[in-house]
Each structure stands twice: as C-alpha cells, then as structure tokens.
Chain A
Amino acid sequence: QTVVTQEPSLTVSPGGTVTLTCASSTGAVTSGYSPNWFQQKPGQAPRALIYSSSNKHSWTPARFSGSLLGGKAALTLSGVQPEDEADYYCLLYYTGAWVFGGGTKLTVL
C-alpha cells in the first residue's frame, strides 16, 4: 500500500514563508509522479493550485510555488496571507492510480 506523507500541521506568521512537503513511501518524488497541490477551506471542495510539480493555474496566487526538493514535492507560500489558512493536499500518480497525501493543516497566526 503506497503512502504519501505530509506534515500534519504547520504554523506561519502573516507575511512569512512556509514550505509544505509531500513524500512517497516508494522513494524520491520525481516529475513522473505528476505532483499536484490542492487547497481546501472548510465546507468547500479541494481547489487545484499546482500541477506537474510547479505549474500554476490561472487562478493560483503568485505567492504559491511548487517544486521538487530533496526527493519530495514541495509547496512554498511566500508572503503568507490570513486567507491562506486552510488544509493543503498533494496528489501523486503511481502507474494507473492516484494517491492523495494525508494533508497539512496550515495555521496563519
């Protein structure tokens, strides 16, 4: 059973920078895993932020960026805003199946 691991929770101050990571139980995450990142706020469906590791959608704020970092997929928020408080999920592709990470609860405090 493939497991995708994220930090359960992180706290960041407004205006600060934070990096969320996404690790695979199978080894290093590469572009072949097609990492996607989603943001979810209470009562809403997940919203896509990043695809193919680092590509932004037209609606993705510039302060969000995706990368591959140290064998993991990473989502960096620079200049965090209060409205960025949310749950964040990564999604990885494994030959025929997609697997979500367990999610990171980001608190802006």
Chain B
Amino acid sequence: GQQLNQSPQSMFIQEGEDVSMNCTSSSIFNTWLWYKQDPGEGPVLLIALYKAGELTSNGRLTAQFGITRKDSFLNISASIPSDVGIYFCAGLTSGTYKYIFGTGTRLKVLA
C-alpha cells in the first residue's frame, strides 16, 4: 500500500536544540496532518494544514504545507524531554476518506 516517505527515521538530540523532519509523497494532497504518539497511547493531533504554502504554529511547533502539495515539514524549537515520542505525518486527497500515513520519526531528547 502507499505510504509517505518520512525522514529522518530517528533522531537523538540534546535538550534545547531545534528539530526538523519532513514527509514527501509522489501524490498530491489537499490536507497534511502531523501527529505525535507517546508509548502505549494513540496518535494525538499536533497541527493540521489545509492550503499549499500554509505555515502554522502550535507553541514550539511549526509545520508547513509544501507549495507542490507533495511535501510537508515539521519543526520543533528548543526541544524539551517531553518532546520524546514518534511523530507521524498523514496526507489526505480531496474527495476521499483514506489518510496515508508516514512511517514515523522517532525522537529522543537527551537532557
């Protein structure tokens, strides 16, 4: 089945550093979503993007909907230990109900 290419697969960073991750697709999407998953829990929505070029922030998190509509980026500024988890992107094509999920970026923050 189709899946998004998400990179990097994992990251180890020092507390206070900024983090960048991205998703790319061969298909055009009309919606991009970014989720975070903590161990033993379901994904929780961080940011939703609905328009090409859109830049949206949620606290220390900023996400962008790529101009080509085939990619999206998530940045986390000044990372803290509770940022640890797996971050997933998901794309949705207009007129469908099927979300396509990335394979996840596993983030570990070293205090």
Do A and B associate with each other? Answer: no
Give the interface of B toward A (CB within 8 A): none
